[in-house]
Every structure is written in structure tokens, then in C-alpha cells.
Amino acid sequence: MSVAYRVVQWNPQKRIYDGILLAAVAFYVVGFMWVTPLFDTNADPMNVPIRAYGSAAFILLTIILSIGPLCRLDSRFLPLLYNRRHMGVVTCALGLYHGYLVLNWYHKYGNIDPLVSLLASNTNYDSFFSFPFETLGIGALLILIVMAATSHDFWLANLTAPIWKALHMGVYVAYTFLVGHVVLGALQSNTNPILATFVVLSAFWIVCLHVVTAWRENRHDQNTSLDPEGLIDVGPVDEVPEHRAKIICASGERIAVFRYDGKVSAISNACQHQNGPLGEGQVIDGLVTCPWHGYQYDPASGASPPPFTEKIPTFAVFIRHGRVLLDPTPHPAGTPVEPAIVPNPSSTQSPDNQEFFVGYFPTMTKGMSRFISRRIAVLLLAVVMLVFVLPVLHGEYHHARSDFRDVREFDGFLRAAPAPHIVVVRPGETGKHAFSRYVLIGRGKSGPKIDVAGLDGKYVRVRGTLIYRDGGTMISVKGAEEIPAPSTSAKTEPLDGEPLGTYTLQGEIVDSKCYFGTMRPGNTAVHRQCTVRCIAGGIPPVFLVRDESGNTMSFLLVDSNGSTVNDRVLSMVADPLEIKGEVVRLDNLFVLKADPTQYRRLS
């Protein structure tokens, strides 16, 4: 069986298949990362690859899940199924890299191990909208990893096809997890209706395709009735196409009745490889050839020719009065059964080779080639379109900056409360608000690594890089030292704050470092875990308030005594909240004093 030797080896079809697959994936990922900054100059260079790899994995999984049912609906899609497992492995690799980037960006430089951070930063499992969507992504990824690891035929042979198949049906669970991951993650932050429509349509497509196929398959699973002798009337012998099979259902399983070279034989419809539908295959060189990957079996014995060892059950068949009768009692796999002889072989139809192709065949029929090339071309065009459309829809990178390469010096008074900050004298004739205040933070997800208590109230020179957005300014501190205060300055002592009254405000808790510029976006659900890590590490929490007129205000959060609240707000970040408290103005900084126990969730 020369063809079967090649089925498990590399062949031109597999190379072309993998070549197109890898080129399309590379084009999409690189294209996404290249196009995004063209549309949005604020695109976060660390965030864009996360979106590129994540969306690539989602799109590829959608394509993979379409192939099976499409093949059931039209066998001309079968060339796509031939190497589908490689697509699965690529999806897994994309997902893994997406996860690695997420770990590296949102969870590194915190006060705990990034992996622990990923699992422990959000434990709102009892909430729908605050649910840790990352866990769903991890679940999907674990399933994909198990599937990729067991995708080789070695595992298929050892586990047996039914168990392997059951294991690999986990992909449907993985897909559901992935839809949940996208809906509770990216689509909570990105409110573009077109992006949501893309996701909804793709999910709708997958569900409909599988439901329709399952319904059609179910119709074919009705048992054929037995005659008084316990035989099944398969039908007139001429109803069985030459070199093809008629499939019947007996005792719940399908049996393929093949007609070939003036004979009729019956074998189990389930290929031993992956339980592919042998009855939809063809007899080639006297051997039944599976349509999925081309495993071959002798129709009379159900055994693969040497050196192969695959065997499937056989059934006895008889021809009486021009009709094929079948004994539904299976013979043990590989048991030779005498074929029934077609009484009038002259009536044999010509072999139908029109639309049958297995990956290791040297050529494809013209019709099938045209069909499949057109489908692939449409798919590739869709990829090109997505490269230009998805980066625009993803968008929503905020106008914020981190001058992380531009180290500067700032002179001013250091103040430890309500959060470490430096008070810089404003030039010119200033009047009431004579100072600008820049909050100090440290590298990574931490507060400033300087002696804040020792320098409190002193005139200092701070070295660091700026982070800024919408009038809020922070310094990522590299060092600080006390220096003499300028004797000429009359504005030597900043005020302690101007009370503005008590207000009830609605907003979201964010970590000031990411929101003001380190990450874009630096708030909402996708950023929740990073926010938790930053605030837990000492970055001041900020309450972000926006009104319908477009005004955005941010308030440093402290409790009613003016003490930090970092550890007390972790479970409430990135959720809509209502806080009633006293607002104090410190020049350009606004402080909201309220006890975290009084914060009220709005959803």
C-alpha cells in the first residue's frame, strides 16, 4: 500500500498547506502591528502585539471550527481538513505568545510572581462583568495545549480514535471559553459596535454551522429495519455506485456497503485513524480510501495492507434478486468476508473519480481545484481586509505619554501626603495657585524608591521620567536629593490644600501610573489585573470621573483621615463605583477623602 506510506509523511500538499497557513498568519500579525500606528499615533507599542496575536488566534480557531461542518456539507472542502491539526498547533502557539506578552506587560515588575499575579489579581468569580476573563483565556489555552500535544498520530494510535476524538472535542469548550474571554475582556473595554458585530457574527456562524450539521447527521442515524431473517435490505445493487459506498445505519452505527470490480463488501463506516467516514471515501487500487487522510482498507477483510496494521469490522453481504442484503452482526476487525458477486457485471457504472481528493494524491481534479482555490483566495482576501479593518476597530488608545527615555530633573518641595509628590514653583506672576504638583512613583509597579519620610517637607531635586495625560503629571523617580531652596523665591511654602466641599461622584478606580501614560489603555476590564498589581505595589489609586459634557477629573483616593487606601480598594478597581467624600484641591491635584467601606458599586 504505497499511498498509505506517504499519508503520515510530509508531501507537497502538506507543504503548500502549511506554507499558505504560516504566510497568512505572519501577514496578519505583522500587518496588524504595522497598520495600527498608521491609524493611531497613540497606539501602545506593547499593547498592539497583544491584540495582534490574540485576534489572530481567535480568527484561526473560527476557521478551524468551520472546516469540519463545511466538509460534512460539501466534500469539496475536504482538502482543508487534511492538515487541520497543523492549524490547531499554530492557533495554540499564537495563544501562548499572546499569553506570554500579557504576562510580560501586565504582570511583570509587580510585588508578586507574574503567574501568581495572573491567577490571583482578580478573584471576582461571583460577578459576571468583573469576572476574571483571563481565567477563561487560560482555560482555553490549556485545552489547546493538550490538543496540540496529543495531535500526533502516536497519541491517536495509543489512545484509540474514540478517546482521542472525545479529548479533541474539548475544542468546543475552548471556543466557548474564548468567546467568554473576548466578551468579558476586550469587548468590555472596546465599545466599538462594529468590532462587537464581528465577534457576534463569527460566533453565530460557528454555532449555526455545527447545529445544522449535527441535525443532518442525526437524520442519517435512523436504524434500517431488519427482515425476518435478521438481514438488512440495503437496496438494489445498482443503487450502490461503482467504487463508492452506500451507507446504512444498524444498531446505531453506520456501515459502508462498497461496490467495486463486480463485487460488494461491507465494512464499518468508521476509519480506525480518526473515525473518518469511510463510506464517503472511494475504492482506489482495490482499496477503500478514507476521505479524511487517505488511510486504506481491503474492502473484503477490513484490514490495511501490510505493513500497516489498522483493522476495522467487516459484515457479511449477499445479493438476492438484484438487491443487496446485509447481516448487521459485525465480524471482528480484520476478519475476511467473502464479497457478494454482482450477477450482471456488465451493468457496472464507470468509476466516479470526479470530486475525490486526498492530500497525498499528486493532483486534484480540476473542479475541486477551482473550488478550493477560490475559497482560499476569499479567505486570504478576508485576511487582507481584516489587517486594515481590525486595527481601526480596536483603536481606543488614549492620549497619554510616558517619556521613559527622557530623564529630567525637577526641583521643588517634597511632600509625602496624600501621596508622595513634588511641589514645583510655577514661574511668572501666579497668585493663588503658585505650584504644580507631580506625583512620584517608582520603577515598575511600585511607589518611589527614595526616602520619602526623610525628605518630606524638604526642597529636593528629583531625577526621573515624566508620565502625563489630561493635565495630570507624574514622575517615575530614578533618584532624589535635598538641595538648598532658592532664596529668591517668595513662594516657598505650599498650602496644605483648599477644601472644595463634599460631593457624590461616580467613576472608576485606576492606577495613576498606567492611566496617566504608561499604558494605553490604562483602565477598564482589560487592565483590571494590572491596576490591582500597581495599586498593591504602591502606585496611588485615582478615581476617574467623567461627565456627559466631556469633562474628565481624576482624584487621588485617601480615606477620611488622609491615609492611603491602596490595600482596601483592590477588589473594586475597574468597576463603576459611587463615592461620597470630601474633595480637597492641592493646586493641580484633586484629592477625594472617603472611607473605602462607603464606596458603592453601581453594577
Partner 1 sequence: MIRTRRLMHRQMFLLLAFLIPALLFVGLAFRPDVPPVSKPDITLLTKAGFAPTLPGNLTRIQAGEQGFEIGLEAKSPMTSSLIIRSVNPLLKPDLLVYWVPESIQNHSLPEHALLLGELMGTSFRHMTLPTAATTEPGSLVIYSLAHQEVFTHFTLPSLVGSEKGAHAS
108 or 165: CB nearest partner 1: 165
Stretch that binds ligand FES, among 166-174, 286-294, 335-343, 374-382 (CB under 6 A): 286-294
CA 336 to chain centre: 48
290 interacts with, out of partner 1, ligand FES, none, CB within 5 to 8 A per kind: ligand FES
293 interacts with, out of partner 1, ligand FES, none, CB within 5 to 8 A per kind: ligand FES
293 or 520: CB nearest ligand FES: 293
- Residue 205 CA to residue 61 CA, distance in Å, equals 12
Q: H or E element: which one contains 393?
A: helix 366-394
270 or 319: CB nearest ligand FES: 270
183 or 376: CB nearest partner 1: 183
378 or 500: CB nearest partner 1: 500
Site for ligand FES contains 273 (CB under 6 A): yes
Site for ligand FES contains 394 (CB under 6 A): no
Radius of gyration of the chain from its Cα atoms, rounded to whole angstroms: 34
CA distance between the termini of the chain: 66
- Residue 378 CA to residue 218 CA, distance in Å, equals 31
254 or 478: CB nearest ligand FES: 254
Q: Minimum distance from CB of 12 to ligand FES (Å)? A: 18
Q: Minimum distance from CB of 23 to partner 1 (Å)? A: 31
Residue 467: strand, helix, or coil: strand
192 or 365: CB nearest partner 1: 192
Q: Which residues pair with 284 in a beta bridge?
A: 287
Q: Minimum distance from CB of 294 to ligand FES (Å)? A: 6
Site for ligand FES contains 274 (CB under 6 A): yes
549 interacts with, out of partner 1, ligand FES, none, CB within 5 to 8 A per kind: partner 1
Q: Minimum distance from CB of 170 to ligand FES (Å)? A: 18
- Residue 556 CA to residue 129 CA, distance in Å, equals 25
- Residue 259 CA to residue 349 CA, distance in Å, equals 10
- Residue 509 CA to residue 531 CA, distance in Å, equals 9
Site for ligand FES contains 295 (CB under 6 A): yes
- Residue 554 CA to residue 522 CA, distance in Å, equals 13
Q: Can you read off the three cell numbers belonging to residue 277?
A: 467516514
292 interacts with, out of ligand FES, partner 1, none, CB within 5 to 8 A per kind: ligand FES
Q: Minimum distance from CB of 427 to partner 1 (Å)? A: 6
295 interacts with, out of ligand FES, partner 1, none, CB within 5 to 8 A per kind: ligand FES
273 interacts with, out of ligand FES, partner 1, none, CB within 5 to 8 A per kind: ligand FES
- Is residue 102 within 8 Å of residue 57, measured between CB atoms? no
Comparing CA positions, the residue from 172, 46, 88 lying closest to residue 527 is: 46
How do 472-482 and 435-441 pair as beta strands?
parallel
DSSP-assigned states of every residue in 84-126: HHHHHHHHHHHHHHHHHHHIIIIITTSSS-HHHHHHHS---TT
Taken as a whole, the chain contains a residue count of: 603
Q: Which of 276, 472, 522, 541 binds ligand FES (CB under 6 A)?
A: 276
- Residue 384 CA to residue 398 CA, distance in Å, equals 26
10 or 204: CB nearest partner 1: 204
- Is residue 476 within 8 Å of residue 439, measured between CB atoms? no
Site for ligand FES contains 88 (CB under 6 A): no
48 or 290: CB nearest ligand FES: 290
Q: Minimum distance from CB of 270 to ligand FES (Å)? A: 8
Q: Residue for cell digits 504582570?
A: 107
Site for ligand FES contains 258 (CB under 6 A): no
Q: Minimum distance from CB of 82 to ligand FES (Å)? A: 9
DSSP-assigned states of every residue in 115-129: HHHHHHS---TT-ST
Q: Minimum distance from CB of 276 to ligand FES (Å)? A: 3
Binding residues for ligand FES, rule: CB under 6 A, are 271, 273-274, 276, 290, 292-295
